[in-house]
Chain A
Amino acid sequence: MLRGLCGKKLGAVGLKFRRDLYVIVTGIVAVSLFIGALAGWLDAGTEEGWRFAGYVQRAPLVLVCYVVGAVGVIWLGWYWLKLAGGTTSIARRLKKETADCRLSIADCKSKIGNRKSKISKVDKLSEAIAERIDSYSSVIGELEKQIEDLQIQIQLTQRQKRNIEAIIYSIRDAVIVIDEFDRLLMANEAAGRLFNFDFRSSQRKPIDELVFSEEGDAGKNEFVDFLRQSRQSKVRATRREIEFSGARTFDCIVSCVYDERGQICGVVAVLHDITREKEISQMKNDFVSQVSHELKTPLASISAYSEMLLDGEAKDGRMRKEFYSVIQSQAQRLNRLIEDILNTSRIESGLIKVERAPLSLAILIEEQLQMIKSYAEEKNIEIIAQKPIVFNQVYADKDMISQVIVNLLSNAVKYTPGGGSIKIETEVDETADIARVSITDTGVGIPEDEIEHVFDKFYRVGANESCAKGTGLGLNLVKQIIEKVHDGRVFVASEPGVGSTFGFELPLATRGAVEAVV
């Protein structure tokens, strides 16, 4: 480019020089003419000169030539001077421009050099950047891999969280988790039902707002206080039984949660409903108390009569025999009671030995009636029993079925006021392939809400407890023997103040049943 620029300049100077050259040549010609004329004039002194001069003197053209030549010479001189000057200036200009070009070239060269150095710097920088980019790429690659791993871990953690939540939500016990500011972090459905709040949308709400009872459920308020006290006292784990309204008792276990710095970051409470357990425990306590009372009663008779005999209080042989008889009957009574307790336990555990044989229910009933007849007569209760119509009706254990009949009959007598009646019926339903026994009394009856529980172990009808003593085992034993051992069914119907009908059904002793058992 520089060369082009210089070339252009030199070309322009050259063009001008060529133009000037034409002028110069023209000038020279003109000057030559003048000089020739002049020379002719000067040579006039010579013959030839004078002939030339004569021509000149003689021709105006020659004069013109003299003039033109003179002008030309002057002009040429002037032009040459100018040209020289111009040439000089051109030369100076050329020189200057050459110098300028050189400067420009040098400048350009230096610029090129600078640019080259810059380019090399840029190249180096580019290389460095490329290297850095490469290193960053590897770092980015590692970061992307780490991000991927973290995302996988986040997914796993979220899945674990969901699994844990699902487990906690499915727990039957109420679970509540609060933070260090007593705000709810998590609760399951059981907690929501117990405290009547939406467990899924109540996060971060103060626990006392969610649980506090305005209706005055002291249990709920006590629970909130218990949570707060546990957190403030920083106990690792503590428990308390709290009773809520509706006579429901909960075993509340509260544990503080600590972070890595040892600071409390939350409290976990698990509420286990122990209402039924307490009821069972109370029933067991009542049973033990009742059983001990029942056992002590015949024992008291045995002990008292024995002492009377030892002290000689029986005045004659008849009285002594009477005392011996009482001792014996009470001992048998004691034995029966213990057997009832043991049989119930054995049947429930499946350890009892069953000896089945074909037997007649009607005959069994007749036999057991003789045993409770005197008891019924004391209370002036009439007993109406059907005559047996079918023999070998069922295939069952005789002692067990006898026990069933005795229990049902003695209950009927026990809970029927004096002057009442008891009716015993047996029937065979060949369509249903069963034999049925029903014992209907005119006793105190059973309230409707208690009928479903009369066959439960240790259960005694509350309203009837004052009517007669009992262990609460008799009907349970009946149910166990009939249903669990003999695949039968027990039933009851009752009306308070009118009477009750207790009964049972047993499969008929068909040939197939006998062969299957044998």
Chain B
Amino acid sequence: MAEKKVLVVDDEIHIVYVAAIKLRNNGYEVVTATNGAEAFELACAEKPDIIVTDFQMPVMTGLEFVEKIRQNEETKDIPVILLTARSFAISKEQEQDLQISGCLSKPFSPRELLENIEDILYQRAVVNREA
């Protein structure tokens, strides 16, 4: 089975690194970016199966990045997990509008991140199969 590809976006290099190691150790292909603009280019180029992005980043915030990929035909259906250090950073309405699949609060657990990714990809596979 082809490896699932994960795009990890965070301006904190250590976060990107630890997430990448965890996912790679569990059979995922990982591409990384440190800001929203770079991440959008990678998303269009790599077409990951799922995106994990920080909320607050320089150049382009996580929300702006997600809005942009939702407007792009090639990336609009990619599920997104949001990492945020702020409580109530995003409302339920925004979550629904931007089709955010999951939110994890920092400090997050790499184990929990892996579980979230696996759940979302599994559900997506089931939906695609039924469709």
Of the A-B pairs whose beta carbons lie under 8 Å apart in the complex, a sample of 27, sorted by A's number, is A289-B86, A292-B86, A296-B85, A296-B106, A297-B106, A300-B12, A300-B85, A300-B108, A301-B12, A303-B107, A303-B108, A304-B18, A304-B108, A304-B110, A305-B18, A308-B21, A308-B22, A308-B110, A311-B111, A313-B21, A315-B25, A319-B21, A466-B58, A466-B60, A467-B58, A469-B11, A469-B58
Residue from A297, A302, A330 whose CB has the most chain B CB atoms within 10 Å: A297
In the complex with contacts A289-B86, A292-B85, A466-B60, A300-B110 CB distance below 8 A = no
Chain B interface mostly? loop
Q: Footprint of A on B, CB under 8 Å?
A: 11-12, 14-15, 17-19, 21-22, 25, 56, 58-61, 85-86, 106-111
Among A292, A302, A313, find the residue whose CB has the most chain B CB atoms closer than 10 A: A313
- Distance of B36 from chain A, by nearest CB (Å): 9
CB distance A301 to B21 under 8 Å?
A: no
Residues of chain A lying within 8 A (CB to CB) of residue B12: 297, 300-301
Would you call A326 an interface residue if the criterion is a C-beta within 8 Å of the partner chain's C-beta atoms?
yes
Q: How far is the CA of A301 from the CA of B83 in the complex (A)?
A: 13
> Which of A307, A330, A467: most chain B Cβ within 10 A?
A307
Task: Report A-chain residues with C-beta under 8 Å of the C-beta of B21.
Answer: 308, 313, 319
In chain B, what residue has the closest Cβ to A289?
A: B86
The 6 closest A-B pairs by CB, nearest first: A300-B107, A303-B107, A296-B85, A300-B106, A293-B85, A301-B14
The CA of A308 and the CA of B25, in the complex, are separated in Å by 11
Residues of A within 8 Å of B56, CB to CB, are 293, 469
Chain A residues closer than 8 Å to B17, beta-carbon distance:
326
Contact A299 B110 (CB under 8 A): no
Q: Which residue of B lies closest to A467 (CB)?
A: B58
Decide if A468 is an interface residue (CB 8 Å cutoff): yes
- Given A297-B12, A466-B61, A467-B59, answer yes or no on A307-B109 (Cβ-Cβ < 8 Å): yes
Of B11, B60, B109, the residue contacting A304 (CB under 8 A) is B109
- Assess whether B59 is in contact with A303, with CB atoms less than 8 Å apart: no
CA distance A304 to B85 in the complex (A): 14
A307-342 interface (Cβ within 8 A of B): 307-308, 311, 313, 315, 319, 326, 330
Residue ID in chain B nearest A299 by CB atoms: B107
How many Å from the CB of A110 to the closest CB on chain B? 120
Q: Chain A contacts of B15 at CB under 8 A?
A: 297, 300-301, 304
Q: Roughly how many angstroms separate A300 CA and B19 CA in the complex, as a whole number?
A: 11
- The total of chain A residues at the interface (CB under 8 A) is 24
Contact (A326, B58) CB under 8 Å given A303-B109, A304-B110: no
Residues of A contacting B: mostly? helix
* Chain A nearest CB, measured from B15 CB (Å): 6
Question: Which residues from chain A contact B85 at a C-beta distance below 8 Å?
Answer: 292-293, 296-297, 300
Given contacts A301-B15, A303-B108, A313-B110, 6 further A-B contacts (CB under 8 A): A296-B106, A297-B12, A303-B107, A304-B19, A313-B21, A315-B25
Q: Which residues of B contact A300 (CB under 8 A)?
A: 12, 15, 85, 106-108
What separation, in Å, do the CA atoms of A303 and B110 have in the docked complex? Answer: 9
**Chain A residues within an 8 Å CB radius of B11:** 469
* Closest Cβ–Cβ distance, residue B21 to chain A (whole Å): 6
Give chain A residues whose Cβ lies under 8 Å from the Cβ of B18.
301, 304-305, 308, 326
Nearest CB of chain A from residue B124's CB, rounded to whole Å:
25
Interfacial chain B residues near A315, Cβ < 8 Å: 25
Q: How far is the CA of A466 from the CA of B110 in the complex (A)?
A: 26
Closest CB in chain B relative to A17 CB, distance in Å: 148
A304 to B20, CA, bound (A): 12
CA distance A96 to B58 in the complex (A): 148
What is the bound-complex CA distance between A326 and B60, given in angstroms? 26
Q: Which residues of A contact B60 (CB under 8 A)?
A: 466
Please report the C-alpha to C-alpha distance between residue A517 and residue B119 in the assembled complex, in whole angstroms: 66
Inside 8 A of A289's CB, which chain B residues have their CB? 86
Q: Contacts A289-B86, A467-B58, A468-B58 given; indicate if A313 touches B25 (C-beta within 8 A).
A: yes
* Complex interface bits, A392-404 against B, C-beta within 8 A gives 1, otherwise 0: 0000000000000
Q: How far is the CB of A304 from chain B (nearest CB, A)?
A: 4
| B109 to chain A: closest residue by CB | A307
Which among B58, B86, B108 has the greatest number of chain A C-beta atoms within 10 A? B58
Q: Nearest residue in B to A305 (C-beta to C-beta)?
A: B18
B55: nearest chain-A partner, CB-CB: A293
- When C-beta atoms are compared, the residue in chain A nearest to B60 turns out to be A466
A304 CB contacts on chain B under 8 angstroms:
14-15, 18-19, 107-110
Which residue of chain A has the shortest Cβ distance to B87 in the bound complex? A292
Could you tell me which residues of chain A, from 286 to 300, have a CB within 8 Å of some CB in chain B?
Answer: 289, 292-293, 296-297, 299-300
- A224 → B minimal CB distance (Å): 35
Q: Among the listed A293, A305, A319, A466, which residue makes an inter-chain contact with B14, where contact means beta carbons less than 8 Å apart?
A: A305
